[in-house]
Amino acid sequence: MMKKAETIFGKVVFGFAAVCLFGALGAQSVQAAPGIPQGFDSDGEKIFNRYNETPLAAMTGTDGTRNLNAYYDLRQYPGSPPRIPHKVATSFSGEAQNCLACHETGGYDPELDAFAPVTPHPENVLCYQCHVPMRTDKLFVESEWQSINPPKLGLSQLGGSPPPIPHSLQLREDCIACHTGPAAVAEIRVEHASRGNCRQCHLPMVATEPPVKAFKRN
């Protein structure tokens, strides 16, 4: 189970492909009146916009190849920016359009034979600022780095109740980007992609932060 994931992202595939089937289907975004505030409520507008723009087929499709182990293999600690697991052209140095061609709305890339994961923050266009490719697997010196476990899944308060959002919403405001569609990580993919008001049921309870004290009357 653990090994299978590595074979998909572990092998080196040359060339950067930009054939993204779903990209063409994106509708124009909904615009509020000028002068209406933007960027409040953890940028919740993103969820509604993506929900409205993404065809249902694109939200419910799955190829089931990405799993949580593969996901955390690309990260150094829970919440760190993932490294780029595929080959990128050396001349490419942060031109957003190249990354976003695949990662803005997702879609199938025949060269990598994989669906591109969708970024929850396409407005940050200097991708290389945080995401870097891996050119060698040799270390300069061994590291004693250790991190904490990633948040457990299934932290539902009751059997069957909606699990809380175990991660911070910073840069990960757009639930639909990561939790639906063919590239979604199998373990965290929602089975009810047809719902659009995610935070109606799922509240943030950041698992890596100390818990809030229970309510007590003064």
**Interface residues toward another protein, by CB under 8 A:** 2, 30-33, 36-37, 39-41, 44-45, 48, 51-52, 56, 68-69, 72-73, 75-76, 146-147, 149-150, 152, 154-162, 164, 194-197, 199-205, 211-215, 217-218
Task: Match 């190849």 to its residue by tokens.
Answer: 65
Strand partners, 165: 204
Looking at beta carbons only, is 136 or 218 nearer to another protein? 218
CB of 98 to another protein, least distance (A): 28
CB of 101 to another protein, least distance (A): 25
Looking at beta carbons only, is 97 or 157 nearer to another protein? 157
Looking at beta carbons only, is 111 or 162 nearer to another protein? 162
CB of 44 to another protein, least distance (A): 5
Cα separation, 218 vs 216, in Å, equals: 6
What distance lies between CA 117 and its chain's CA centroid?
6
Looking at beta carbons only, is 53 or 63 nearer to another protein? 53
In one-letter notation, the amino acid at residue 133 is P
CB of 163 to another protein, least distance (A): 8
